[in-house]
Structure 1
């Protein structure tokens, strides 16, 4: 037995060497695979590599926000697609390069949260405020609707996730320093202030819109105080052309009974923030005046019709302009309560 022991020991050591050699090859192969496998990138790098975000990439670079989103952190970026920029009037990278850097920075900061909120973290509900890097909140909603562009669809109903009035068209672009959600519209911070000041400032954003007659009607009816209330409201704002089409020029407004004007103006106001993705097709919206207006809604258009408008609906021509105390929708026809 003693004479066979060295042979047995040698065999044992030989087996151990084989096992160790195999493990070395295995871990070396794993390490090589890990080194060559693609990993996550920062948000800035993710946007740079995305074909849908060429204009956003230019805006981040011009504003200096690319450096912020390249740092370590837990950011959430609501990323407007190229189509979203084009719809707002930024046709290409050249248009971005011509814009003031500070303006771009203030707008883009309104698209960034300093906390990471993934798609699974968004609970069903409306207008959940989340603070942005612009020191003003955005309002995130998750609702179920029978129509409209959906983030997910189950049994014929669409689950719509939106931030302010922008729909999230793709969730959870994962990055090392946060998450990216693609949105179909640029988010505008409440740069003007409350609803009254926002209506006054809208023409600087939409040069074709004018609200001199609306402002004259508000002044005569004494409605400015209610529109400046701290309580959140939604205003369907008729343009000057909408007032004139209903027979209200400046002279008619000056002669109209105050009670009549107050009733008409109150018929254009809802309590609470109602962004367009929250409006269900065929819904009846209760106004501050006490009456109701009927809404139709799709992924691309929203209309509202007053009791006195018959079948002539008013188109929401520029939706979801955020104010500090609510939201404004531009409409092309005066809503008549009777």
Structure 2
């Protein structure tokens, strides 16, 4: 059961719906001579939107010259979130509401034709959203774009089918996945929580709970000061002190982890860091990115085995091919 704080945050999230416009009703009644809030009013199905904009004092902002690009959850998305605007009755809650609404707004005009798969955009509140583009259409974070390119006098509205939640820091993001309980527990035991809650940016290669089990890691074995130092070294070997989006990873690339040791990447046949497979990329947090991996990386490991090292020299392709053919890999 959610506590009251979670319910209020969840309530805030749907209000973003209000900031935006709906699918077919908006498209049918959109007027490119009117600003974004006026277009929302004109649909006749966004009374909550108008109320939310008024409540958060954002009407004037979104009536400004812009241009703005707004990712607009529908009334259906708003209703499914079960938000009650009356729950935002303190300055702190109103600030949360404002942050949520602005998470759906990007400064500048971003038509759908400018979007590419894996592309990031920074929202007005300073957080990031990521786009997916494929044969099935366009997504932004966890939402589908159902109606793109609704033109207003001061920007563009893209209608989406879900409310996007502003990201939280890396430890909170990891905890929310449900598959990183061991990682979070290890971070807490190693007293690295304040570090990974810092401003960053960080890129964390996050082993799953199964990866911790497969590695035979028992946190009780790291209870001494020496053990805690060892655990900290292991965990920091999974952290790079910079943004490393998946799109920037190239074959045989290396990057130094925060503990000072190198990580090695390959991309042919799927992205790998050392000998771990990256199974999910570019999980956005407020202070960096998380890439989910299927193994725990050990600082004592050699970043690349001999065949991969040979392959990365670019002058041993024949040797690598021969090793593969002889089934010696």
Q: TM-score, normalised by structure 2?
A: 0.52
Check the 8 A contact 1:59/1:104 in 2, yes or no: no
Q: Give the counterpart of 1:208 among 152, 162, 178.
A: 178
Q: Tell me the equivalent position of 2:274.
A: 307
Cα separation, 2, equivalents of 1:283 and 1:185: 38
Q: In the alignment, what sits opposite 2:153?
A: 176
The residue number in structure 1 matching 2:318 is none
For 1:91 and 1:184, how far apart are their aligned partners in 2? 6
- 1:273 pairs with 2:243: yes
Match of 2:219 in 1: 250
Residue 290 of structure 1 is matched in structure 2 by 262
Q: Which residue in the other structure is 1:20 paired with?
A: none
* Cα distance in 2 for residues equivalent to 1:234 and 1:190: 15
1:322 maps to which of 275, 280, 286: 286
Q: Please report how far the alpha carbon of residue 320 of structure 1 lies from its aligned counterpart in structure 2 after TM superposition.
A: 1.3
Question: Which protein shows a greater Rg?
Answer: 1
2:262 match: secondary structure: coil
- Please give the secondary structure, in 1, of the residue aligned with 2:151: strand
1:13 maps to what in 2? none
**1:315–1:169 distance in 2 versus 1, CA, 3 Å:** farther
User: Are positions 1:138 and 2:110 aligned together?
Assistant: no
Alignment partner of 1:336 out of 281, 297, 309:
297
Query: 1:213·1:240 contact (CA, 8 Å) conserved in 2?
Result: yes
Q: Does the aligned pair in 2 maintain the 1:174–1:180 contact within 8 Å? A: yes
User: 1:165 & 1:290 partners in 2: Cα distance?
Assistant: 33
Question: For the Cα contact (< 8 Å) 1:246–1:334, is it kept in 2?
Answer: yes
Aligned residues: 255
Distance 1:184 1:229 in 2: 32
- Please give the TM-score of this superposition, normalised by the length of structure 1: 0.51
Out of 100, 110, 134, the position equivalent to 1:107 is 100
C-alpha distance in structure 1 between counterparts of 2:286 and 2:101, whole Å? 15
Measure the CA separation in 2 of the matches of 1:273 and 1:166. Answer: 23
CA distance in 2, matches of 1:140, 1:234: 16
How much has 1:175 moved relative to structure 2? Answer: 0.6
Which secondary structure does the structure 1 equivalent of 2:33 belong to? coil
> Higher mean Cα deviation, 280-289 or 38-47?
280-289
What's 2:27 paired with? Answer: none
Deviation at 1:233, TM superposition (A): 1.6
Separation in 2 of the partners of 1:57 and 1:290? 55
CA distance in 2, matches of 1:97, 1:165: 19
Partner-residue secondary structure (3-state), 1:315? strand
CA RMSD of aligned residues (A): 5.3
Q: Determine the structure 2 residue equivalent to 1:95.
A: 81
Alpha carbons 2:146, 2:160 under 8 Å: kept: yes
SS of the residue 1:237 aligns to: strand
State the alpha-carbon separation in 1 of the partners of residues 115 and 31 from structure 2: 32
Gaps of 5+ in 1: 1-36, 143-147, 152-159, 298-302
User: Does the residue aligned with 1:179 lie in a helix, a strand or coil?
Assistant: strand
Residues 304 and 185 of structure 1: CA distance in aligned 2, closer, same or farther (over 3 Å): farther
Contact 1:236 1:328 in 2 (8 A): yes
Alignment of 1:40-59 (within 5 A): 40-46=33-39
* Cα distance between partner residues in 2 of 1:127 and 1:272: 17
